């Protein structure tokens, strides 16, 4: 087996003495699409924040491409190639689709936000490169024609694709998607599933949290099931659907 791209070992995180994540192990191979499911409050989103660095782990290690990253701040992890589309992420209103994506690229380049805040003159070559990358990212998610239109005019499914484009603009090696299909209509979910399949075919490694078991098991190579902050099952989609512990903890509820 090849070296994993991501390795989470015995990670814990509590809030006010209550453990949201209690001893999770997760190993993801390069090119894999991993599904993560579990009831509300299982610790799925917290796990993503522990990988992305938005939250620090109380205990445990996170290794990415061979390097320990669990003490690094989120922006350093983004630089290394970890991108997250957060649960319920909103677009920036009053900006075009292209500008929305560029904001994502700025977040992963050194010059980015700080310069904007300090109102320093832009470094034009870098700005041009970011614009170019943002256009490419929009193209990858099928929104090339929307570049200069107001982001809030996009239907919800395409706004979700826009979030993906924003994450892709930083050229990640690992993309974390937290309930990307939530609230979408059937046709929009289908389009999103197709986009994810294309990204996978392009070799991108992804972890996708879903509430909808059918959706996650259809796309994923392997599925990890969380309940009460612990991994209660892991396997192929078929194994997961047949697992009595999963049925009891999740499918039965």
Residues engaged in binding ligand ADP (CB under 6 A): 15, 20, 38, 40-46
42 binds, among ligand ADP, Mg ion, none (CB under 5 to 8 A by kind): ligand ADP
- Over 193-207, what HEC string results? HHHHHHHHHCCCEEE
- Member of 11, 21, 36, 45 binding Mg ion (CB under 5 A): 45
- The per-residue DSSP string of 212-242 comes to -HHHHHHH-SEEEEEETTEEEEEE-HHHHHH
15 binds, among ligand ADP, Mg ion, none (CB under 5 to 8 A by kind): ligand ADP
Helix (H, G, I), strand (E, B) or coil at 44: helix
Calculate ∠ Cα 209-146-111, nearest 5°.
70
The residue among 14 and 96 lying less far from ligand ADP, judged by its C-beta, is 14
- Give least dist CB 238 to Mg ion, A: 25
Nearest to residue 212, comparing CAs of 203, 223, 201, 204?
223
172 binds, among ligand ADP, Mg ion, none (CB under 5 to 8 A by kind): none
* Residue list 53-112, contact with Mg ion (CB under 5 A): 87
Cα torsion 34, 193, 46, 84: sign:
positive
46 binds, among Mg ion, ligand ADP, none (CB under 5 to 8 A by kind): ligand ADP
Footprint of Mg ion on this chain (CB under 5 A)?
Answer: 44-45, 87
């Amino acid at each position: 087996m090849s070296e994993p791209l991501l390795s989470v070992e015995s990670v814990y995180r509590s809030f006010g003495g209550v453990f949201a994540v209690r001893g999770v192990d997760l190993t993801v191979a390069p090119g894999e699409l991993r599904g993560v499911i579990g009831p509300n409050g299982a610790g799925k989103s917290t796990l993503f924040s522990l990988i992305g660095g938005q939250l620090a782990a109380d205990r445990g290690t996170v290794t990415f491409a061979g390097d320990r990253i669990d003490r690094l701040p989120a922006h350093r992890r983004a630089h290394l190639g970890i991108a997250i589309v957060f649960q319920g992420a909103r677009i920036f209103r009053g900006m075009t689709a292209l500008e929305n994506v560029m904001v994502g690229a700025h977040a992963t380049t050194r010059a980015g936000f700080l310069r904007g805040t300090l109102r320093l003159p832009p470094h034009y070559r870098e700005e041009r490169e970011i614009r170019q990358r943002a256009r490419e990212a929009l193209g990858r998610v099928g929104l090339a024609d929307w570049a200069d239109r107001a982001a809030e005019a996009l239907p919800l499914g395409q706004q979700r694709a826009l979030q993906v484009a924003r994450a892709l603009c930083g050229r990640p090696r690992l993309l974390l998607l937290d309930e990307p299909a939530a609230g979408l209509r059937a046709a929009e979910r289908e389009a999103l599933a197709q986009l994810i399949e294309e990204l996978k075919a392009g070799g991108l490694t992804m972890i996708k949290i879903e509430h909808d078991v059918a959706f996650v098991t259809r796309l994923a190579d392997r599925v990890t099931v969380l309940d009460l902050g612990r991994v209660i099952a892991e396997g192929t989609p078929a194994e997961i659907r047949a697992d009595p512990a999963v049925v009891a903890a999740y499918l039965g509820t």
